[in-house]
Each structure stands twice: as C-alpha cells, then as structure tokens.
Chain A
Amino acid sequence: MTGRFEAPDRVDRDEVFLEYTKSICPVCKAVVDAEVNVRDNKVFLRKRCRDHGRFEALVYSDAQAYVASTRFNKPGTLPLATQTEVRDGCPLDCGLCPDHKQHACVGVIEVNTGCNLECPVCFADSGHHPDGFSLTDEQVEAGLDVFVAAEGEPEVVMFSGGEPSIHPRIVEFCAMARDKGIRTVVLNTNGIRLAHDPSFAPRLAELDVCIYLQFDGLSAATHTAFRGRDLRETKSKALERCAVAGLRALLVAAVDATVNLGEVGAVVRFGIAHPAVRGVVFQPVTHAGRTPSFDPRHRLTNPDVIGALVDQCGDWFRPSDFFPVPCCFPTCRSITYALVDDEDVIPIPRLLPMDTYLDYVTNRALPDPSVRSALEALWSAAAVPGSPTLTERLTTVLGDLGLTDEGKDLAAAVLETCFSCGIDFPDALADLAAKAFMIVIQDFQDAYTLNVKQLMKCCVEEITPDGRLIPFCAYNSVGYREQIREQLSGVAVPAVVPNAVELADLVVLSRHGSRTVDPDGTANTNYVQVNLGHTLR
C-alpha cells in the first residue's frame, strides 16, 4: 500500500530489569522505591526521591556472579527474641524486628567515639572530638544481655569504636563477654595500643581475644591516604606483640581503586607469611561517615577486589575460589580458605563440590549433610579463624576429601587400619586445619547502595545500649548511628550525607569531618535538615 504512515522503530532499553526493592534517599533518608538493573554485565541500584531526584550506584560489577549466587542463599534462622515490632516497615523498625530474615551471627558493640587517630576514612566519624561518648560497664552489660537473650549462645561479639583499645575498661569488657558465654570475642583496633603497651597483648591473650587489625596496605602512601599518617612501624610492632603473646590476628583492609587495589595481593602474601596472622578481610571503602569524595557509579565492589587479588596472586587463586557466604545475602560477602605451608597455598573450595553442598534452591540429595553444616559454619559472618569451633569444622570438611561414598568407606577403613598402627588421622587432619588461612571480601552498604532485600537478611548487628540489634548497614546509612550518638552523648548530631561528587553543592563539612546538608542551602527548600534519628523509633 502506498502512503502508509512509516512508524519509527521501537528501541530496546539498554538494561535488564532485575529486581524491584526499597532503598533510601541518600540526602533526606526518606524510604523510596528502588530498582536493580543490569547494564554491561554490571549491577546498578537506582532510585528516585520526590524531593532530591534520581540516584544510581554500582552494587556489583559482575552481573553473572550476582545472579548465579542466588541459589547459595541459606534459609535464615529465627533468633530467640526480637527487640522491636513491625511498625513503619524496613528499614525504619530496627531492630531486630520480627520481619528480619536472619539471626545475628556477629554483634558489634561500639564502646566509644574517641580515637587516637583521625583517619580521612572512618565510617564511624570517630576522632578527637569532645562531643562523643564512652560506654559504662552497665551499658555494655545491658547490650551483651540483649545479645544473649536473642541468641542463647552468641557466636561472636566484636568490640569496636571509636578506638576500643583506648577505653579504660576494654579488657574488662572482653572478660565480661567471655563470662556471658560468647564463644568468640573480637577486638577491632588500629593497633596503636598493642604496639605501645607491652602488657596489652598478653592480657587479651589470656581471654583468647581475636585481633581484627586495621591494615590497609604495605605502602606509606596507602597509610597516609586512609589514616593520615604512616603507621607501618606501629602495625609491624603490634603484630609482633600478637605473635609473641599468642594472639591471632586478622588483617582488615579498606580498599579503594585509586589507593590500594594494587596492594591486595601483597597484603595476602604478608599475612600468609606472618605467624600471628590467620586471615585477611578486604572491605571496599564504605561511603558512610568520613570519606573522600566518590562517584557512586564507579565505586569498588566485591568482584573488583577478587579480580585484583587473582591478578596479583594468580599462582594461588582464581575467582571461583571465593565462594559467596550463604548466611547473609550471598552478594554481601565472599570467603575462601586456603591450606598453607612454606611451599604451597591450596584453596579449600577446590577440594570439594562447594556448589552442590551450598545450593539451597536446587533440591537435591546431599552427599553428606554433616559437610554442609561444617561448610555453613566456615562460610559465615561468624567465622573467625583459629577458634576451636572453626578448626573442628575445617577438620570435618577435610575429612571428606573423597567425593563418593565408596571412597569414604575405603578411606575410613584405611584410617582405621592405620589407627591400629598408632597413627592418629584425626590429629593429622586437625594439624592441617590449623594451617588454614582465611580471606574475606565484604562490601558494606551505604546510603547509595542500600537494598532492603539484603538488609533484611543482614547478620552483623550493632548492639546498642538501649537494647536493640541494628543491622550494621542500616546503622551506618539510615540515621541510627546519629540517633544513638546523640542519645548517648547528649549533643545534637547532624545527619550524615555521603560525600558523593554529585552532592558536592548541597553539603558542607560536619564538625566530625563527614558531610551534612548545608543548613543555609537555598537550592531546594525541601531539604530535611534534621537528624533522621529524631523520627526513628
């Protein structure tokens, strides 16, 4: 036919729409709808605030891995008690509320806001400011009691801050946690007191405390960028004292693409070689509190850290060695363990079919249920290397090297035979398990990346003296941190806004070094210039 209207071609969207969820406005923290989309094999979270417009952030730089990890999502465990009721909906009812999907693997108690450093990067906005707080024995005890009531026998409590080691009662707090039956006590520290106070490490060793040592890299430039000064000698001395006292340490590195992504391999090599170090934890810089300015679309995510590590330690690791953690949302955290001696580094996930054991969606008969539960304890936020429980679990996994039933029967018979000759195979396995080195990659959410779907299954909780267990990522981004600080210090706390490049015109420096909405800003009169904590329960 002639003269027919020539319709324009329809055009496809440039992204795959994956999820519809909730998040918050990074400026006013209002709860807003959000969508998760895949573009160029990367996963982005996008949302729109009625007052402040659209925001988009990169949440996972490997879309294929993001989607594939869905099946490693373990059904959550109900806590013995929850602390709040459902009223305003996630993330405003923290917590934990009865809608939360997981119990607390780790309880964090921030014992103070004061710090003997004033790092350019600090999600807690800590430092030498006089307007902070320092918890009393009663407050810490109240928090521990809430944790025990919720968990029965809590797995891990972590004392943090501020800098917890400068709290005069910190050793007593660790002892108190042990007395309450908490299996593992972790101290999150910059290492300065460990280095300078010779009596500190032995006192902690008596309580079998695990040291979570801030350790970003081996170059002076990295130290200066993240900590404001070169702390290499201090770190070295702190680790030496740990080794002498028999304290086990995990190195904890904040990672940024422009600062120390090129050093992650060196940190792992350093850790494997050091007698006190049992593992390394890499955390892409959390854009909460005090941070340098950043572009939310180009932030670092877990697959980037794994990629860099594999590039720098290709002789030891490949990406598939880093297996998603099923207890939280699988994209939050990936872990590997390796057997190490001075000759070889052997990633444990290569020894057994991890994806068969930890697939909770495909309903298949398991080769051995006891191996699944051992793996669940190892691939968990509560896993702290060197603890007796963990070594026991590793022994179970290593004892299951055989894939098949008949292989296992045979192995058992061989071992029993050898046992007659006085060779103790379980001991040999336990020795091997004790050589395991742990690597954790953990991306915390901020006000840009917050996805309620992940938050609802968070298993790392801030324990507050008023008796709540608030998911760590909600604590840092929704306004709970400001609320608690204000409540405990009695001094008004401005609402923290991420230091994103695109928000530069709207924010000013807060007195703690983070950003807050410009109180004199005239660009948009709808800005909610309050601590959102005022409106939180």
Chain B
Amino acid sequence: MTELPTLAALSQIRDDYRAGAAGDADAAKSCCAAVYGIDLVSLFLGESYHPGGIELSRRIANLTALRPGDEVLDVASGIGTTAIMLASELDAVVTGVDLGAAQVARATARAADAGVGNRAHFEVADAERLPFDTPAFDVVICECALCTFPDKAGAASEAARVMRPGGRLGLTDIWVNPDGLESELAGLAGRIACIADARPISELQAILETAGLRVAHVERHDDALAATIDLVTTRLRALRLLDLPLLRGVNIRRAIDVARLAADAVARGDAGYVAIVANKPNDAGA
C-alpha cells in the first residue's frame, strides 16, 4: 500500500523546488514524482473515514452499552473523530491510540477545539503492543482497522488484556469470503476498500473468542461498504474527467474497473462490513 505523504514532506518537496532555479527540469521532475506517489484514494477519502461514518460509530457505541463516565479505548483512533464524538455526546473518558504521530497530534488539537481536551486524549501506540499495564477500560472500540493489522490475534489479545472484567469490545470491520473474490481484487481494490487482508465473519469471531472474549452480537452493515465503494468509484470517475496533468501517469480507468469489481463482490454477498460486540467475562483473569 502506498503511504500517504505527510504535510511536512510535501512542504519540503515544495520548498526544495522553490529553492532550485525556476524551470529546473530535474526539480520539477522530482516534485511530480513525489506527487504521483500519493495514494489517490487516501487523498480523496482522508484517513478518518470508514464505512458507515459517524452514524455507525454511534451505533457501535450504543451496542456496547456505553455509559457516561465509562473509560474507553479507541484503537486506531486516526484524527479522533469517533473519540471526540464519544467524549462530547456520550460523556465518555476516551484514550485514543494510533501508530501515526501526525494523526495523534491532529486528534489532540481537534479534541481541544471541540472542548473535550480533558476527556479525550491521544497517544502513539501499536495496537499489537498496547502501553497499558492493567485492565483499565470499560469499552474498547476498533473501527475498520483490524483488517489492516498484520497480527490480528495479537491485537485481539491486547484489546482483551486491557479490558476490565465485564468490559465490552465494539469492532467494525470489512469481511470477505476469500473463495468468492476475483484475484484482481487482492491488489488495487485492497487499497480502495481494505479488502486485501480482510477475513470471513466466522474467522473474526474465532479470533475474538481465542483472545478470551465472548461474542455477544453480530450485525452486518454491507450497505455501508457498498456506499463507500460507490463514493470512491464516483470520485475516481470525476478525477478522470478532471484530467489533471499530474494524474496522467495513473491509470484511472483501471482503478474504476477494479472498484466496480469490488462493488460487484459486495452486491453478490462475497464481501461486506460487520459490527461485532464481544464481552470479557467477569471471572476472566481471576
């Protein structure tokens, strides 16, 4: 997957270009090369977007019976959209963790702007090695992220470890039926819809059970994934029409075709989006 360049990196490229002689062909070339490297899809969707959006975040919070004052961990909190919602709308005390330092800084600033800086804080951490020694959370939320973790079982055990007995995990993620997908979908479509390393629902449940959690509720939100793919497809189509010189090296038609394959997979029931609630038994770890 192409990494999204940071703002700082882009500014550096721009400044380097400006520092060089105007019209310097090499400088121009390296500048454009850097821009070509950008993951178009990430650029158009940003990083905090997940299928179902904030409405599904509210739904998962409701399914975990989140109460005012609950201590909540948001794994892969991005720029903090869900954490800020939980703190401001539901009076939760939220800790968000994310691997990206820029994301964490952004989330911290946004929480302060939203007036919930005292109830939502963020730190850089790896979901597979959470920096919490004790089971300190009533609720753990993890949205559209498990499919991107290389060690899914490890991330699940870590979540289970930091949950208080009786705690609830609210997970939303992409699911796929691996036998039903065209081989082409492993590549670009993976980038478009995170399908690349997604698992069947049964496997997601098994991962949680193995981590010591009890799956209490499963509900499908396949339409949310269909809507996301539709949005991406439409934007790619608009991008083709826009015909920016800097995008002429990218085969947008190809990307549109693959996005349509992904939409077909969702339409025929070979991929979708799922919300799962799993509880940590009260006697666990006793």
Contacts and interface: CB of A to CB of B under 8 A. Distances in A.
Contact of A416 (B14, B49, B234): B14
A406 B106 contact: yes
B240 A344 contact: yes
Given A398-B238, A410-B10, A420 B43 contact: no
9 contacts: A350-B231, A402-B44, A403-B49, A404-B49, A408-B46, A417-B13, A417-B35, A420-B18, A425-B244
B242 A432 contact: yes
B11 interface: yes
B31 A417 contact: yes
A428 interface: yes
Given A339-B241, A350-B230, A432-B241, A423 B46 contact: no
A402 B43 contact: yes
A243 interface: no
B107 to A, nearest CB: 10
Nearest to B227: A350
B28 interface: yes
B11 A413 contact: yes
Instruction: Give chain B's interface secondary structure class.
Output: helix
Given A404-B46, A411-B43, A417-B31, A428 B14 contact: no
A466 interface: no
A344 B237 contact: yes
Contacts of A418: 32, 35, 244, 246
Contacts of A403: 45-46, 49
A62 B189 CA distance: 37
A15 interface: no
A344 B43 contact: no
Interface string A397-429: 010011111111111011011101101010011
B10 A417 contact: yes
Given A351-B231, A402-B44, A411-B43, 15 more contacts: A339-B241, A344-B240, A346-B237, A401-B238, A402-B46, A403-B46, A404-B45, A404-B79, A407-B44, A410-B10, A418-B244, A418-B246, A420-B17, A421-B32, A423-B244
Contacts of A48: none
A136 B205 CA distance: 80
Contacts of A347: 234
A51 interface: no
B216 interface: no
B219 interface: no
A429 B242 CA distance: 7
Nearest to A422: B28
Given A351-B235, A414-B10, A428-B244, A404 B47 contact: yes
Nearest to A345: B237
Contact of A421 (B31, B49, B235): B31
B243 interface: yes
B45 A407 contact: yes
A414 B31 CA distance: 10
B18 A405 contact: no
A406 B79 contact: yes
Contacts of A344: 237, 240-241
Contacts of A398: 238
A137 interface: no
Contacts of B43: 402, 407, 410-411, 414
Interface string B44-62: 1111110000000000000
A407 B106 CA distance: 12
Interface string B88-101: 00000000000000
Contacts of B231: 350-351
A74 interface: no
Contacts of A407: 42-47
Most buried by B among A404, A406, A420: A406
Which 7 interchain pairs have the tightest Cβ spacing?
A404-B46, A407-B46, A413-B10, A350-B234, A417-B14, A346-B237, A420-B17
B13 to A, nearest CB: 6
A351 B7 contact: no
A341 interface: yes
